[in-house]
């Protein structure tokens, strides 16, 4: 067991700051934070921690938070909401629910390396030679149409292959091991695969849990793999 002292402001402090904007006399809290999913894995672990506190404050103290959740973190509005599948716009505060993916199994591969989100954005800026604050890379309307088409194919378990992610280019340069995972995912029957968030987790979608065994058996032999997780609807 490792106990760490957080020297800078943790996302939980941002939750409390927003809560005290609404309820100034909110009492002091003592919290223990136990992380089951490591930070830097691209699975929204920090935002998930924030949402656990948001829900507790809503249920126990009556804090509504209003429209302030996006100020805490871009993933927080989705994780705090009721939609299991949604398209996020703005900085994550505008959510449009989408039909769920059903009867689907997901293999999550957590490698031994981690990805700092800020570093990944800086590397992406250098790679694309576009400052983060300037413009958009493509038309939003086209992006929505592409996403709707892609989600429809995924719901039908059509073979989509590698899913788009802007962070994939710098991740491939850092870690060619991703190519090995993608190749085996395809060879063992996955209909879609990719990386989660800004990394480091890779994932593959299968039509059923039974179909994941081939990929799990192969990936379990790789020394660079930290954890394999299989999720099923």
**Residue holding tokens 């073979």?**
159
CA atoms within 13 A on the CB side of 231: 9
The tens digit of pLDDT for each residue in 71-80 reads 898 889 889 8
**CB-CB neighbours of 36 under 10 Å:** 6
The tens digit of pLDDT for each residue in 3-51 reads 555 555 788 989 999 999 999 999 888 888 777 788 889 998 888 899 9
Q: What domains are defined for the chain?
A: 11-97 (3.30.230.10), 105-232 (3.30.70.890)
CA dist 97 and 139 (Å) reads 21
The tens digit of pLDDT for each residue in 165-183 reads 989 988 998 899 999 999 9
Q: How much is the pLDDT for 56?
A: 93
pLDDT-derived band at 1 (thresholds 50, 70, 90) equals very low
Closest CA to 191 of 175, 166, 212: 212
Closest CA to 181 of 166, 165, 208, 162: 162
Give counts: helices (H), strands (E), the chain: 9, 7
Look up residue 191 and give its DSSP letter. S
pLDDT-derived band at 98 (thresholds 50, 70, 90) equals confident
User: Is 134's pLDDT higher than 50?
Assistant: no
**In whole numbers, what is the pLDDT of the chain averaged over residues?**
87
Mean pLDDT of 146-175: 91
């Amino acid at each position: 067991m490792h106990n760490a002292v957080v020297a800078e402001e943790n996302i939980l402090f941002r939750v409390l700051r927003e809560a005290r904007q609404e309820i100034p006399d909110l009492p002091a809290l003592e919290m223990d934070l136990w992380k089951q999913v490591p930070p830097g894995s691209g699975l929204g672990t920090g935002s998930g921690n924030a949402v656990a506190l948001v829900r507790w404050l809503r249920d126990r103290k009556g804090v509504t938070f209003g429209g302030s959740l996006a100020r805490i973190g871009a993933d927080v509005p989705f994780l705090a909401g009721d939609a299991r599948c949604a398209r996020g716009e703005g900085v994550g505060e505008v959510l449009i629910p989408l039909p769920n993916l059903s009867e689907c199994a997901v293999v999550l591969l957590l490698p031994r390396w981690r990805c700092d989100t800020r570093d990944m954005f800086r590397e992406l800026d250098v790679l694309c030679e576009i400052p983060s604050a300037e413009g958009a890379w493509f038309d939003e309307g086209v992006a929505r149409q592409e996403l709707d088409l892609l989600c429809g194919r995924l719901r039908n378990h059509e073979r989509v292959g590698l899913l788009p992610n802007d962070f994939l280019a710098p991740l491939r340069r850092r870690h060619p091991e991703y190519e090995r995972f993608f190749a085996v995912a395809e060879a063992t029957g996955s209909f879609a695969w990719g990386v989660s968030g800004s990394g480091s987790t890779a994932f593959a979608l299968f039509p059923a849990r039974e179909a994941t065994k081939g990929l799990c058996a192969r990936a379990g032999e790789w020394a660079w793999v930290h954890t394999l997780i299989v999720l099923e609807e």
